[in-house]
Structure 1
């Protein structure tokens, strides 16, 4: 099914709202067209195109709620979904934290749609895989990768007059390249909204170079080291902390932002002064929908961490009312300030340290301190006198992003990423960090 226009989605949403007999109604209508190609062992294994459209209708009688979803949009199916949601609401127990659907919102459009991405075809996808495979073969390497391109629309509406519509696009690519004997491995990841910013050759060449350089890795004694973390390695650690910026979790004593004796640590300096983090739906690099799909509240620019101090937290509608605060839409992106310095420049300024390409298999150890454990992989190198001296075997680490952001020596240039454990779009810099805690060696490459 083709992606619907604003006029088409408005007609469908209005039809649903006119059918309900409930006290309130919310409609979320979305559709996507996603192409993909996957390859492994230097050969394409799958390729395809997935199209999907879904409508969710949520109704409430008093504090009793019901939700129904469908993927058929004819009038008969719409009415059937509304009646099902109403039947479920009547049967449901009252929700003690029920909040009325919000009043009319002002949604300032963000630039999330790029025609070049929407125009991607099978030939484009094939070329992405072909270059990666052919160049890997030339270097006697084995490549595996996954490329997806998505074009979608989202529309929201409620019985209080809210309506929003927006289209967006995105490209995601990951590639792993290994030596034939499995002793060397390189990896790269790219996530952008505009395909004009995507270079499959560049990404594959990075993975290929790291695979070639990571052969004959030497063991380095575990311990605390200065590390240069590439943006992908940094982001997969930091998302665990960013997910904790919820005021309710903090107020109830369930996060690192909880204060002993009750309340939260708003306004406290918890990080190095170089740390500045914000959210901005309209950022040209990582633009996102100007509303929060869960609450229908408009998003705003917010300074989350300012000069190392906690400056903002997320308040749901229920918790905002309970605490006497103002609720706004939850962030859709996280942006961290950096510099114009490349990762190579951070390496050049390092006397002794470890370069980490990627962090992986990360798990929470202690939520109160955000202590994490995980592994390095796909290219870990020893730095000496500003140069990469040789590859080293991978480590297991035990580290907290809170400690990391207190031990920053230098920040690099931010890159666009999608966090594996987060729904955020991310713009995160490389960084050089002191005293990163490597606890043991890993046999993985």
Structure 2
């Protein structure tokens, strides 16, 4: 795994090529095969009750094979790279290919094409030890200043290679780190989270201070009647919008099946909205599961929908080219953008820190101003006459995929804003809202100037967004209904 960057994936590429050759030997030259070999090293330090209670590390290998034989397509995977293990995998997939239903929509193999060199990655992150993660946990706990805390710090490293029987091959590697923590007091919770390419860029103390400050500011909430309110959504809440837009809107399979709201060429969003999927960040690989080279893809350009994501199958159905978005679940769920950025106002889409460092002399105060969390969000709040500041959304469920009407709950802090100031904490509310409508032309009043990258629960997946000030958000009841 460690090796020089130029050699990254050499062993994996040799294994992938061996599997392709084995398919040809066993099934003949008419068989089409593609193979991806991925080695993953992941480590997790988890804490609860302000104490580390689990430190785990895992190293695994995944060999994924897809074969097209006599008009039929079958796929399988294995975690053994011995000669016997690879032979068993190939025989199993070939056996399935001989009896499975015909596949008239087979798009063919990815042709040989140049692949961008693997993005710069951080060896210190890839090979970080438990002491380094524990130090960040300690900083988080100390900054929470006596509040009960829980969460995790994780690091990951992937090396992957691809080969197919059309002569195409690719290799690369990626590293990432993330932290997600919660602080609790008096029944109120505050959270802070961050995803980075370098472990050294995680600010454990800043995250802990922010989570604690938001928890203290969220105590003694009041009831508020449901209705439509102007809102400022913090980046964690905006990330839920991006995730659902990715799964249900810019998904090429859903678009081909006419189950997506996306309409390329139409100004479906406010002009402040530009969405770019960027798989070439250091935490991404330069090719997808089918070997198609990865590249940044603009999905919404200044409010106008410009593209959806495709793997080779959804692209072939529409007579277009794959955008390089095949992944392990695309055969079932469709190709989706998994590194989606909402570009901040007046800036390139460059991730900023998820929180400021601990203010000098900060103590466990209870100022409602601490609910805002950062100057960028504070600026949006200051220009809202009356509305709600929303920290986070959760338990979101899609009610209507075509219009992307979603219901869910607020959590980890909800506050009333009056005359540009946070005045009181509010009990969590249920909402029912169409995400595209909430971002429609004229609905986005202001976009923050700094983006925060937030982790997903899947390695290599993240969502990056600034805070947003929206004209309206539909709250339909309390948290209990």
TM-score using structure 1 length: 0.90
Superposition RMSD on alpha carbons, in Å? 2.3
C-alpha separation in 2, matches of 1:322 and 1:120: 44
Q: What's the counterpart of residue 327 of structure 1?
A: 322
CA deviation map 1:350-406 (0-9, x unaligned): 222211111111011111210111111111111122221121111111111111112
Q: What's the counterpart of residue 388 of structure 2?
A: 354
Please give the secondary structure, in 2, of the residue aligned with 1:29. strand
- Structure 2 alignment gaps of length 5 or more: 326-336, 348-374
Q: What's the counterpart of residue 265 of structure 2?
A: 267
CA deviation map 1:42-78 (0-9, x unaligned): 2222111111112122222122233332222222322
C-alpha separation in 1, matches of 2:434 and 2:460: 20
C-alpha separation in 1, matches of 2:338 and 2:406: 23
Q: What's the counterpart of residue 227 of structure 1?
A: 231
Please give the secondary structure, in 2, of the residue aligned with 1:120. coil
Change (3 A) 1:89 1:408: same
Please give the secondary structure, in 2, of the residue aligned with 1:364. strand
Q: What's the counterpart of residue 288 of structure 2?
A: 292
C-alpha separation in 1, matches of 2:64 and 2:314: 25
Change (3 A) 1:252 1:6: closer
Q: What's the counterpart of residue 182 of structure 2?
A: 176
Please give the secondary structure, in 2, of the residue aligned with 1:175. strand
Q: In the TM superposition, what is the alpha-carbon distance from 1:421 to its structure 2 partner?
A: 9.2
Q: What's the counterpart of residue 173 of structure 2?
A: 167
Q: In the TM superposition, what is the alpha-carbon distance from 1:107 to its structure 2 partner?
A: 0.9
CA deviation map 1:281-329 (0-9, x unaligned): 335xx65222221x32122332211221111123443343343322331
Change (3 A) 1:92 1:443: closer
Change (3 A) 1:342 1:400: same
Residues 64-143 of structure 1: pairs in structure 2 closer than 5 A:
64-111=72-119, 113-136=121-144, 138-139=145-146, 141-143=147-149
Please give the secondary structure, in 1, of the residue aligned with 2:92. helix
Residues 4-19 of structure 1: pairs in structure 2 closer than 5 A:
5-19=8-22
Change (3 A) 1:55 1:318: closer
C-alpha separation in 1, matches of 2:480 and 2:72: 54
Pick one of 291, 302, 305 that aligns with 1:307: 302
Q: In the TM superposition, what is the alpha-carbon distance from 1:133 to its structure 2 partner?
A: 3.0
Pick one of 318, 334, 342 that aligns with 1:336: 342
Residues 22-33 of structure 1: pairs in structure 2 closer than 5 A:
22=27, 23-33=31-41
C-alpha separation in 1, matches of 2:90 and 2:162: 15
Change (3 A) 1:348 1:332: same
C-alpha separation in 2, matches of 1:129 and 1:322: 48
Please give the secondary structure, in 2, of the residue aligned with 1:79. helix
More moved, 330-339 vs 148-157: 330-339
Please give the secondary structure, in 2, of the residue aligned with 1:236. helix
Please give the secondary structure, in 1, of the residue aligned with 2:467. strand
Q: What's the counterpart of residue 203 of structure 1?
A: 207
Pick one of 390, 395, 411 that aligns with 2:447: 411
Please give the secondary structure, in 2, of the residue aligned with 1:342. helix
C-alpha separation in 1, matches of 2:381 and 2:99: 62
Please give the secondary structure, in 1, of the residue aligned with 2:12. helix
Q: Is the 8 A contact 1:280 1:287 kept in 2?
A: no
Alignment length (residue pairs)? 430
- Structure 1 alignment gaps of length 5 or more: 258-264
Q: In the TM superposition, what is the alpha-carbon distance from 1:159 to its structure 2 partner?
A: 0.9
